[in-house]
Each structure stands twice: as C-alpha cells, then as structure tokens.
Amino acid sequence: MKKSQWILGLVVLAALAGLFAYEQHVHPFNWKLFGEEFRKASWTKVAIGAGCIYLAFVFRAVRWAWFLRPTKRVPLFSLVGTQVMGFTAVALIGRVADLVRPYLVARKTGLSVGSQFAVYVVERLFDGGSIALLLCSAILISPAGTLPHQEIFNKFGKGGLALTVAGALFLVAVRMAGEAIASFSERVLGLFSKALARATADKIRSFHRGLDTLRTPTDFFVAVSLSLSMWCLITFAYVEGTGAFITTGQGGTQALTRCLALMAGGGAASIFQLPVLGWFTQIAALEVMLRPLFGIDPEVAMACATTLLLITFLGIAPVGLVWAQFDHINLRKVTLESEHAGEDLAAEATESST
C-alpha cells in the first residue's frame, strides 16, 4: 500500500469522523435503537441476499472462462476460486489487490499475465455497461416520486442510456478496427499532448486485445447475458438486504430503482478502497444515501448499511481465506506480485510506444 493512499484514507476517515461527531452533537445518535434494529431485522432476507452474492461469483467465473474460449478452453466452473480469492484480497487488503484475479487466472491456466489483464479490462467494461443499463432503465420506468429530485434522475437516466449505447458502439468499432482507431487517436491527440496521445492509444489497444476474446455475435450475446444475470443477482441482494430492515415503501419498481441507485453509489464509494478504513467509508456512504432514498432514521440506515457491507463485500472473505489455504496461496504475497506485474506491463507498453 502506497504512503499517499494511506494518507488519503486517513484524511477521508478523519473527515467522516468529524462529520459524524458534528451530527452526533446536533442530532444525537441512538446506539440502543441501532442495536435494536439488528434484533428486529429479517435474517432470512439477509441470508437470501448473501446467497445471491455467492451465486453471482459463479456467474462471474463462468463469464471469465467464456472470455478464454478463443485462447484456451477451461471448465466453466474452474475459475470460481480465482474470483472468490481475488475479491477476498480486495476486501481485506484494499483496491490495490484488484489485479489479483487476472494474476491468479494466469497462474491457473498457464496463459500470459498480460492477456488476463486485458480480459480484466473487458470484464470491467461489461460490468459498467450492465450497471448503467439496469439503473438507467429502472429510473426511466419508475413512477414519479420514487427517487428524490426525480427530474434530475430522469435526465441522468436518458443521458446514461445514450452514453451506454455510444459506449457499446465504440467497443464494436474497437473490436473491428482497434489498431486503426488507436493510431488515429494518437495522431489527433498528439497535436495537444504526446503523453495523453500515447496513454489513450495504449488504452484502446488494451481494449482491442481484450475484445479479441469475443470472436462472434454469439460470444458477445453470451457475455452480455451472463453480465446482466450476475448484476440482477447483486441487485436482488441489495433489495433483500434493505428489505430486512425497511418494511415500508419497499414495493416493486420503487424498491428496485432505489436499490440500483444505492448500488451504483456504493460502487463509486468503493473505488478507492483501503484496508479496514474502507469498510467504514463505505458504511458511511451507504448510510448517507439510504436516508434520503428510503426516508428512514439514521439508526435504521446505519444498521442497514452495515449489513449491506457484510452481505455484498465482506461476506465472501471467510470462503476466500479457506480456499486460499487449500490452494496454498498467500493473498498478501500474490497482491504484491500482481501489482509488480501490472507495473512491468505498463513500463513495457510505454517503452514500445516511444
């Protein structure tokens, strides 16, 4: 973990602690009521939500195996362990461990680390597109009053759908003529900044390498179907997790739309995930969003946010730690190795473009 990241994390944590202290002074937090919310919660719904997250890891592993088909056919469920251990590393070590999954897949399959980093980029593109499609569609079909400032969200939904379609068309163009687009971008942007031109061209070439995993329309359709199915499971986990604590205003499209907005906001808050500190920043972010979205008291929101973090993020950690023991993998060690591998690949790309 870089020193600057720790400093940033401590600053954010200090700011949240200050904000919480101020809120505690203005509106005292009822800790007894907070504990009471856990007693009243529906733990059946919590268990269902956790089960959805576990099943989503299976879909994620199958999707990665599908991406590998043009290069190397592996059993569809053979990569579940790499996904579980990779996300366990992120949960315990921080966002710096994000490259553990492609690194473990490369070790397990005997493929190059660079090729799996490219698959990782494509996987993230499919994740982003799936979330955007689900969220924007839900916003546009939700009845008036579902979300605070509904008119703003409606504009966001229309813009988001337009950007999603534009992004999909861009990916198709990169898949068909990636090198030509990269060279054109490098020439045009080079008029303003050589460094920006090289970085953009390298990114486009990386997208192109990753998209080589999708050779036919069927490959693309299967990847989209797996992605949407996985994110529907994750969304349902949020619906069940919030429903365990919130029993009013939790009906149909309204609950779905609010949970999708909550999920998108929580994902944004986890971008700069730090070990342990990041757990509290995510809980705080979820709590801040839950209160206006569902119109609930701070104690209910905090209890719900804590449980959502356990369901969607930390719940996989015990399974991942046990799996790592069986596979004789040291998660801290592979995190460092994957980070160094990423830096080496970035250096090689820079050298080849100069």
DSSP state of 198: H
Task: Please compute, for residue 326, the number of CA atoms within 13 A of its CA located in the half-sphere on the CB side.
Answer: 10
pLDDT at 215: 76
- pLDDT at 200 (0 to 100): 81
Q: Counting every residue, how long is the chain?
A: 354
83 backbone dihedrals φ, ψ, rounded to 5°? -70, -45
Is the separation of the CB atoms in 74 and 258 below 8 Å?
no
Residue with tokens 């553990």: 100
Helix (H, G, I), strand (E, B) or coil at 276: coil
Q: pLDDT at position 272, please?
A: 62
**And the tokens for 69?**
């088909």
Q: How many CB atoms lie within 10 A of CB 100?
A: 26
Global confidence as pTM: 0.83
pLDDT score of 309: 93
Count of other CB atoms within 10 angstroms of residue 51: 16
Beta strands in the chain (DSSP E): none
Q: What residue ranges of the chain have pLDDT lower than 70? A: 1-13, 16-17, 19-27, 145-146, 149-150, 152-154, 156, 248-252, 268-276, 346-354
Cα R_g (the chain), whole angstroms: 21
The overall average pLDDT reported for the chain is 83
Say what the pLDDT of residue 220 is. Answer: 86
**What pLDDT does residue 350 have?**
57
CA torsion angle 195 200 202 207 (round to 10): 170
DSSP state of 247: -
Task: Compute the distance between CA of residue 220 and CA of residue 122 in angstroms, rounded to an integer.
Answer: 11
Domain boundaries, the chain: 42-87+97-353
Q: How far is CA 315 from CA 63, 67, 319, 333, in A?
A: 21, 26, 8, 22
